[in-house]
Structure 1
Amino acid sequence: MIASPHWAQDWMIGAAETIALVVIVTGLLQVGFYVVQLGYAAFALSNRPPVPRGATLWRRYSGEAPPITVLAPAFNEELTVVESVRSLLALEYPDFEILLINDGSKDGTLDRLVAAFGLTRVERFVDDALSHARIRAFYANPAQPRLLVIDKDNGGKADALNAGINACRTSLFCAIDADSILEPDALLRVVRPFIDDPDLTIAAGGTIRIANGCTIDSGRVVDIRLPRNFLALVQIMEYLRAFLMARLALGKMQVLTVISGAFGLFNRQRVVEVGGYSHATVGEDMELVVKLHRHMRDQKKPYRIEFIAEPVCWTECPEDLAVLGRQRSRWQRGALECFAKHRAMCLNPRYGRIGMIGFGQILLVDVIGPLVEVLGYLLVPLLYGLGLLALPWLLAFLSVTVTFGIFVSVATLILEEIQLRRFPRAGAIPILAAIAVIENFGYRQLSNVWRIQGWWQFLRKQQGWGTMTRKGFATAPTG
């Protein structure tokens, strides 16, 4: 019996439709999860109590706010470290200490600190709960009782944070980046869940916002403006989706797996119990939160990890394609390292909602997502051009990748404007709305290529952060 000459063509059409179906279904699952997150975020913001002013917070919490140690690792930060420390010393919080950890800087970071604050060598007891590189010396000044500088051998950010945790004398510590800027009332706002529910809360994160284009004066953001650089504008939309939508919603669901390394508040005892920050990963911030979830679930202890939208940390984002690409590849590699290390939690009922929903999202968005999306970019248009896919398949693919992406971004922007209104100039909203459309035609595809690079680095077990150059914050004009 002779096979039909159309058999091969039918098989190829069936294979093409299967590939398109996998791509479209994966995209729909991602979009569906984003829509659920958007709903949770809208509910959380609309039902939160009125946001008090800083002075009201001080009156309400100054008598019961627990002491906090702010840990700020620094490596080769001589150009900005003095201004950063001065902004931290000006934080509006009743009882806090700043530990600036100089992680073996090769420039004049330590000399600048010693000269600016009149520091001299002192003694300090250090716990040995966590391992880290050798501490060379401690520096302080009785006239600046809130500031202690730790000078240590270079060991990386995680190592520096572990050294700070060992030297920490308070039950709570706040991990930040030395080159970021906390709003003056940020600690008062992020500490709220530790005051309202001290027995259950073990970690809380705040919002990270882009400072590019803004004016900084004495370590404070005094004029919020949009940057003129296209890459910075796109990242503003990304950060809005990541923090205002995703992390707020995941925190509401109690499945938050990431608290940004630039701004997070933690229970020191719980962090010590899980071994502190891990050294062998570039995603130490994500891995710490996952370790906390796993530890508390394994111990069958109730706990909460929260996200608070109102406290803000400002940071500078890359404005160069090469630097941004290295950053995104590193983020992808960190997520994959964390997933691989804790893969036993994925879709495991033993770990409850964090295993089923939290790790389910990591699997869908971080592990499978970039692979399937890039596959769709390459194959779906090609298969349509070869006549192996009908027009409805192509339209369905474009709808998932473009239309729904625009919807989620614009809806997040509307939510920000209705609930928080952090952009004082009305002209910022239409500009960002246009960016929410434009980013789907080129930038989104490039972003997924960077994530594929992160996959390749993960498979090769590549280590290191790469060079992350910064331009520095714009300062207010004087005179």
Structure 2
Amino acid sequence: MLAELSTELLVVLGVAGLGYTVALQAVMLLLSASAAVSLARLGPSRRSGRLAELRRTADPAPVTVVVPAYNEGPVIVPAVTSLLALDYPALQVVVVNDGSTDDTLERLVTAFDLLPTQLPPEAFAALPGRPVRAVWQPCRRGIPLRVVDKEAGGSKADAINVGVSLADTPLIVVGDGDGLVEPQALARAVAALRDHRGDPVAVGGTILPVNDCEVSAGQVVRPRVPRNFLAACQLLEYLRSFVVGKAGMGALASVTLVSGAFGLFRTEELRRVGGFAVGHLGEDLDITIRLVQQAMDAGRDMPGGPVLQVPEAVLWTEVPETLRVLGRQRIRWHRGLITCLRDHWRLIGNPRYRGFGLLGMTYLTAFELLAPLMEAIGYLTLVAAAATGALDLVVAAAVAGCALLAGWLTTGVAVYLQERRFGRYRDTADLARLFLVALAEPFLYRPLTLWWRLRALAPGSTQWGAMPRKGFVEAT
């Protein structure tokens, strides 16, 4: 009797796992098709040849770029240099040094000839944050840069809020202290926001790994596929996430996340919602959800979706190359997702929030939150079935093969769309390396990410952990 019950349980779990796998791959194929259509419809106002004309004929909205920085010494100067080189006339850059213990501040002071200046306390009163120790500005005129040195808040959100308080422009871009922004990225994002038929609350771009890319004067001049295996796997993840996932969700008006590495927001809306949540591990997802909820609860009409994805607005960022740092990052990300979905569970599948709630939040719950649990149950079911002799090797091999092929197909679509639409990785050796990494990824990399996401279910730190920086590869 017990053996029969065990066999029936294994069958139920096996069918559930198979159904989940089929649903996940079907969704990814749908997003792939949606992304292909979306990229083919790229608006004329965001094409390269139109950006100069756009800036001449339209009054550009002033933008403040807020860059939180904690121990970013090796990369902070090229990152700020790339921001100051943005092809956008109405720009202010605010770097918030969140009590760095390395030479981040010293490098900024030396590179940009900064001098201390005084600002009244009310300049930082819009949002709460740790006390400001000093504000630095260039001694030379014409450099739109401010560096705020504050006490460590132990949170990226605290640093961002201080920068948002200081901003006096209608739009804000939240960036990263280790990122290199492409010169036209900001103009593309602002143009997309201005020309959009709806009234979105935020605009997101594409994030790509800068590891091993050749850099000159704060700009990526030769994109390369990272030589480090972990970094190359992250490139594939980012391509699937931004070129397929977010582009596809954007076409379905259901994007739920504006990445904390590059996101465009309206200043007053950020302040009205209370700024970024200090101590939250998923502060970028949380602020996106709260801004959407605030706008939709107020009855704002946002045809085309509340969050706009602009895939051609690109920021290059250094990604982890060691198991320890990458694991810490992924555990933090998944804990942030768990917290966000717990805090905002009322939006999940809620038709009041249209595509954002029905599709976007449901996708996060079903295929991001539950994915590691379902995957782990699937592996355990296979082991138990093999141990009891209930495993049909032909069926198991067929299911595993179909899952692998579907995953490789999604990866292939992401790489193809990236090369077809943007053509960044043109070197044959780079593409060959990417192909080999894609073949190995399901067997060597995916089990690691599964383990880290399962570990995220246990309580842990909510502090802003630093990632050791290798620095950029300068072009010769």
TM beyond 0.5: yes
Residue 19 of structure 1 corresponds to which residue in structure 2? 13
Which of 118-127 and 48-57 deviates more? Answer: 48-57
- Assess if the C-alpha contact under 8 Å between 2:117 and 2:135 holds in 1: yes
Find the aligned partners of 1:373 and 1:118 in 2 and give their Cα distance.
53
From 104, 113, 116, the equivalent of 1:109 is 104
**Pair 1:266 & 2:265 matched:** yes
Secondary structure, aligned partner of 2:177: coil
- Superposition deviation, residue 88 in structure 1: 1.6
Secondary structure, aligned partner of 1:441: helix
- Superposition deviation, residue 127 in structure 1: 5.0
Find the aligned partners of 1:163 and 1:100 in 2 and give their Cα distance.
10
Find the aligned partners of 2:460 and 2:440 in 1 and give their Cα distance.
34
- Superposition deviation, residue 193 in structure 1: 2.1
Secondary structure, aligned partner of 1:72: strand
Which of 246-255 and 382-391 deviates more? Answer: 382-391
Residue 196 of structure 2 corresponds to which residue in structure 1? 197
Find the aligned partners of 1:52 and 1:158 in 2 and give their Cα distance.
30
**Pair 1:28 & 2:28 matched:** no
Change beyond 3 A, Cα 1:101–1:69: same
**Aligned alpha-carbon RMSD (Å):** 2.0
What letter matches 1:104 in structure 2? Answer: G
- Superposition deviation, residue 359 in structure 1: 1.2
Secondary structure, aligned partner of 1:308: strand
Secondary structure, aligned partner of 1:206: strand
- Superposition deviation, residue 461 in structure 1: 5.3
Gaps of 5+ in 1: 1-6
- Which aligned pairs between 1:206-355 and structure 2 lie closer than 5 A? 206-303=205-302, 304-355=306-357
- Superposition deviation, residue 385 in structure 1: 4.3
Percent identity between matched residues is 34
**Pair 1:187 & 2:189 matched:** no
- Superposition deviation, residue 52 in structure 1: 6.2
Find the aligned partners of 2:133 and 2:212 in 1 and give their Cα distance.
38
What letter matches 1:164 in structure 2? Answer: G
- Assess if the C-alpha contact under 8 Å between 2:46 and 2:191 holds in 1: no
Residue 87 of structure 1 corresponds to which residue in structure 2? 82
Find the aligned partners of 2:408 and 2:420 in 1 and give their Cα distance.
18
What letter matches 1:59 in structure 2? Answer: E
Residue 38 of structure 1 corresponds to which residue in structure 2? 32
**Pair 1:131 & 2:133 matched:** no
- Assess if the C-alpha contact under 8 Å between 1:64 and 1:195 holds in 2: no
Find the aligned partners of 1:355 and 1:53 in 2 and give their Cα distance.
31
**Pair 1:118 & 2:132 matched:** no
What letter matches 1:21 in structure 2? Answer: V
Which of 115-124 and 439-448 deviates more? Answer: 115-124
Please give the per-residue CA displacement for 1:163-209, whole angstroms capped at 9, x wherever unaligned.
11110011101110011100111111111222213871321011111
Find the aligned partners of 1:241 and 1:314 in 2 and give their Cα distance.
16
Which of 400-409 and 207-216 deviates more? Answer: 400-409
- Assess if the C-alpha contact under 8 Å between 2:201 and 2:295 holds in 1: no
What letter matches 2:432 in structure 1? Answer: P
Which of 280-289 and 48-57 deviates more? Answer: 48-57
Which of 259-268 and 142-151 deviates more? Answer: 142-151
Residue 426 of structure 1 corresponds to which residue in structure 2? 428
Find the aligned partners of 2:335 and 2:293 in 1 and give their Cα distance.
21
Change beyond 3 A, Cα 1:200–1:122: same
Secondary structure, aligned partner of 1:264: strand
Residue 60 of structure 1 corresponds to which residue in structure 2? 54
Q: Give the number of equivalent residue pairs.
A: 468
Change beyond 3 A, Cα 1:222–1:31: same
Secondary structure, aligned partner of 1:272: helix
Residue 456 of structure 2 corresponds to which residue in structure 1? 454
- Superposition deviation, residue 321 in structure 1: 1.3
From 356, 359, 365, the equivalent of 1:357 is 359
What letter matches 2:184 in structure 1? Answer: D
- Superposition deviation, residue 55 in structure 1: 6.0
Please give the per-residue CA displacement for 1:75-131, whole angstroms capped at 9, x wherever unaligned.
122333223222221111111000011111223322332233222222346152311
Find the aligned partners of 1:199 and 1:411 in 2 and give their Cα distance.
29
Which of 278-287 and 407-416 deviates more? Answer: 407-416
Residue 378 of structure 2 corresponds to which residue in structure 1? 376
Residue 98 of structure 1 corresponds to which residue in structure 2? 93
What letter matches 1:272 in structure 2? Answer: R
- Superposition deviation, residue 64 in structure 1: 2.6
- Superposition deviation, residue 298 in structure 1: 1.5
- Superposition deviation, residue 415 in structure 1: 2.0
Residue 169 of structure 2 corresponds to which residue in structure 1? 170
